[in-house]
Structure 1
Amino acid sequence: MILLSPSFLFFLTLVQFVTSSPTDNGAPLTIPLRRRERPAGTFIDVAKMADNMRTKYGYQPVLDTTLQRRQKVSGVSIQDEGPDVSYFAAIQVGTPHTGSSDLWVASTACQRGCQGSPLYDFQSSSTFKDGGTTVQVQYGSGSVIGELGSETISLGGFTVQNQGFIVAQAVSEGLVDAGSSGLIGLGFQTLAETGATPAVQALAQSNQLASPEMAFFLARNIDNPNVNSVNPGGTFTLGGTNSSLFTGSVQFIDIPNDITPSFWFIPVDAVSIGGNTINVSQQESGAAIDTGTTLIGVPSDILNEVCSQIPNSQNGTGSLAGFCVIPCSSSINSAMTFGGKSWPINPADFSIQQPGNNNQIVCVTAMFDLTPNTGPTPGAPPQKRQNNIPNPAFIVGDAFLKNVYSVFRFSPPSVGFAQLGSNGGGSDSSSTPL
């Protein structure tokens, strides 16, 4: 299945992907996604997810002060297993060996953290080239150590020669499992720790794609109590869109001209709760659209406004600090506005169950405070990274993206949304307003 982050990413499988090759003109290729296993009776650890996201985007974590802030974001986020958290697709690595990689891949040289994962055998590939340099990539929830190399990477019938990647030799526990072998970066080269051009960007730049786009439909299973194993998770379309999954036209919002393409970074106009609109100031409107993230990170003042609009809600404490605790019986109409158009969020995506005291279940909003006690002053412009890359004020993850058909265009750099069609399940906005 697929996972994305500020610089999109895939979990990779080492199962060879079987599909018809794209036509000579690079017609769009649609790849089915699978959803990572959800153990029965488990919950998403929202507190850990939130801290991983804060760390990944350069903000201070709240719960685990030992997490290291990175000087440069690699664009990869790993979260605990849970409903609609991780999505996978398969690619092919090497000649003749099949595997899975692009940013990094668990290899036969891996000595830690790769148990049970299908492994890439670089010694069996005639196209592998050793870069001779050891590199460590630090993520919010772990790290990868390995050797830089280059290899032939294939996604369906599309091929990238001499793709730079990391041959993983040690991986933090939990970054890969029996169903995955690594991560593939799908964003812009600016964020790549290795300096390599990400594979999809390389395909777009080499004009192998009919259209310099990739698109996603992410299936919803969060409200299905019987989801206990790897399940269909949607589709990833490379080189265009799949018109059977959406209706109407795709509304594109350009990445601002004064921002170096890095994250898929677009402005947010407003957030609405129960029909009440919360306008977002221009100074704090920047949002990273991140399919590798489950939750929606928002500025402190926006989260406070959201919580104030929900009856019988309260600010979370302890491990739930930075979240709004809401009645589990609530069916909340919410939406986010981009480019002047409002996109509703299914109530099942907005409310997340958590274990509480005395074995009681509590619920929190999918929106959380990205910068509690540490972030920029409300209304102040976000800090800039190197290369004119701002820290995004919003992180918009799958709780929103499951409700739209999302399209990511390399030229001109932009993100587009479209209304899901009947094949995509649509978005349920029929709940009773607050």
Structure 2
Amino acid sequence: MAKRFNLTGSGTLLARDQARVKNLRARANARLSGTPLSSDAVISVPADNQAVDYVINVEVGTPPTTYSLLVDTGSSNTWVGAGKSFVQSSTTRQTRDAVSVTYGSGFFEGTEFTDTVSLGGGLTINGQSIGVATESEGFDGVDGIVGIGPVDLTVGTLSPDTTTTIPTVTDNLFSQGVITEDLVSVSFEPTTEASVVNGELTFGGTDSSKFTGAINFVPITTTSPASEFFGINQSIKYGTSTSILSTTAGIVDTGTTLILIATDALSKYQRATGAVPDNATGLLRLTQAQFAKLQSLFFTIGGVTFELTPNAQIWPRALNTAIGGNANSVYLIVGSIGTPSGEGLDFINGQTFLERFYAVFDTANSRIGIANTPFTTATTN
């Protein structure tokens, strides 16, 4: 996978992430209310790290056309056409449905097709649903999305078949016998480069070279609306004694860049760190002296505590100017989710969390696994 910068359209990273949160809530509430929203076969695929989101090359059709698609565990439709136009082939079949999905920072609408899809490394799916965009917004520099979230997120995205679910690429790889387990594991790594291939998706199992110690599995939370996604319960503490967020529900999400926490939790974090808002980036900013005193954040998930070091809490300083910041400043990657705690989606462990911890999105067993990695304590940033 490749990490990619794309800061057009919504301003700062925080604004883009907060727009995504609002959309995630709206989609979950729409589904809950029933109203439409306007190891034997474990294969890894490299992902290219471009500092705001991760993209993967996906081949569609026979002969294939290659598309660069965002990797998203917060949505479940796979679609193309935002950049490169869709090329029909001998295996392309149009369905009777239109398809549309609204995201926090954009949307697409178009027509549903089925086609042969390959993710590389022998990961080939026959008859995968593909949305082909006739109109899209907010996806500059990529061709679309490969959605690997829970399948129920696809309900309401088709028309006229509004109640139909669309199996994800992971679901179809499993049902067609390409992989032996219906899960996908994600390995991201921190970087100081604007673009580098340093991520990996492993379909059907885990890659033991990418994590250390045991994987801690927890069930999907039952608290709504986090339960509609890959949601978990966790608490967060700053240092050894300062509670930032009591045990509550949120989600693990590759499509969110930052770590977002409830507004009251962020106020506690800001007081503890002494950080001030930075108008240029939208992030919290520390002085060098404050950074020298920054303490770790401790995330307790299923009784196991994971340490987010001071270095892991800051934006890569070599990339400050890429987000409109000052090269000599220190910016924090913890931001506000936009709502107070107690709303059922009180945090998002986004990409900056996943660059320090391995994650297993286990659809078959409705659970999420988290493990430490060789980069948990890295001083990359």
In structure 1, the residue corresponding to 2:228 is in which secondary structure? Answer: coil
Distance 1:244 1:49 in 2: 33
1:33-70, Cα deviation, whole Å (9 max, x unpaired): 2222689xxxx9233223323332237xxxxxxxxxx9
- AA at the equivalent of 1:183: I
Corresponding letter in the other structure for 2:115? E
**Structure 1 residue 237: deviation in Å?**
0.9
1:52 corresponds to: 19
How many residues are matched?
335
1:167 maps to amino acid: V
Provide the residue aligned with 1:149 in structure 2.
113
Residues 1:288 and 1:52: Cα distance change in structure 2 (over 3 Å) = same
2:183 alignment counterpart:
213
1:262 paired residue number: 228
Of 228, 235, 241 in structure 1, the residue corresponding to residue 206 of structure 2 is: 241
From 317, 320, 334, the counterpart of 1:367: 334
- Going from structure 1 to structure 2, the CA distance change for 1:47 and 1:155 (only over 3 Å counts) comes to closer
Q: Which letter does structure 1 place at the counterpart of 2:286?
A: I
Instruction: Measure how far apart 1:241 and its partner are.
Output: 0.8
TM-superposed deviation, 1:359: 7.0
1:295 counterpart letter in structure 2: L
- Matched residue of 2:264: which SS? helix
Tell me, yes or no, if structure 1 residue 87 matches structure 2 residue 81. Answer: no
The root-mean-square deviation of aligned C-alpha atoms, in Å, is 3.4
Shift of residue 403, structure 1, vs aligned partner: 0.8
- Match of 1:26? none
Structure 1 residue aligned with 2:3, among 16, 28, 35?
A: 35
> C-alpha distance in 2, partners of 1:320/1:131?
44
**Equivalent pair of 2:20/2:105 in contact (CA under 8 Å):** no
8 Å contact 1:93–1:153 — kept in the other structure? yes
- 1:181 matched to 2:174: no
Alignment pair present for 1:326 and 2:286: yes
What amino acid maps onto 2:358 in structure 1?
Y
Give, in angstroms, the shift of residue 358 of structure 1: 12
Which residue of structure 2 lines up, in the alignment, with residue 109 of structure 1?
none
Q: Map 1:28-427 onto structure 2 (within 5 A).
A: 33-36=1-4, 45-58=12-25, 72=37, 84-100=51-67, 103-106=78-81, 114=83, 117=84, 119-122=85-88, 125-156=89-120, 157-172=122-137, 174-177=138-141, 180-192=142-154, 193-194=157-158, 195-221=165-191, 224=192, 227-228=193-194, 230-256=195-221, 262-268=228-234, 270-278=235-243, 280-282=245-247, 285-310=248-273, 312-314=274-276, 316=277, 324-329=284-289, 330-331=291-292, 332=294, 333-352=296-315, 362-371=329-338, 375-376=339-340, 378=341, 380-382=342-344, 392-421=345-374, 425-427=375-377
Distance in 2 (CA, whole Å) between partners of 1:341 and 1:286 is 16
How far apart are 1:258 and its partner, in Å? 6.9
> Counterpart of 1:78?
none
TM-score (norm 2): 0.76
**Distance between the aligned counterparts of 2:60 and 2:362, measured in 1?**
25
Distance, in Å, in 2 between the alignment partners of 1:318 and 1:45 is 9
Structure 1: any 5+ residue segments left out of the alignment?
A: 1-32, 60-69, 74-81, 107-112, 383-391
Q: Please state whether the residue corresponding to 1:309 is helix, strand or coil.
A: helix
Structure 2 residue runs without a partner (length 5+): 27-34, 39-48, 70-76, 159-164
SS at match of 2:255: coil
Q: Distance in 2 between matches of 1:294 and 1:359?
A: 19
The CA distance in 1 between the partners of 2:356 and 2:146, in whole Å, is 24
Instruction: Supply the AA of the counterpart residue of 1:49.
Output: R
Letter in 1 for 2:147: G
Partner amino acid for 1:278? S
Name the CA distance, whole Å, in 2 between partners of 1:258 and 1:55. Answer: 17
Q: Which residue of 2 aligns with 1:13?
A: none
Distance 2:200 2:357 in 1: 13
SS at match of 2:185: strand
Q: Distance between the aligned counterparts of 1:241 and 1:131, measured in 2? A: 34
Q: Distance in 2 between matches of 1:58 and 1:262?
A: 9
Residues 348 and 84 (structure 1 numbering): CA distance in 2 closer, same or farther, change over 3 Å?
farther
Higher helix share: 2
Tell me if the contact between 1:346 and 1:403 (Cα under 8 Å) persists in the aligned partners. Answer: no
Per the alignment, do residues 47 and 291 of structure 1 end up closer, same or farther by CA in structure 2, a change over 3 Å counting? Answer: closer
Q: Look up the SS of the partner of 2:209 in the other structure.
A: helix
- Residues 1:301 and 1:358: Cα distance change in structure 2 (over 3 Å): closer
C-alpha displacement at 1:412, in angstroms?
0.9
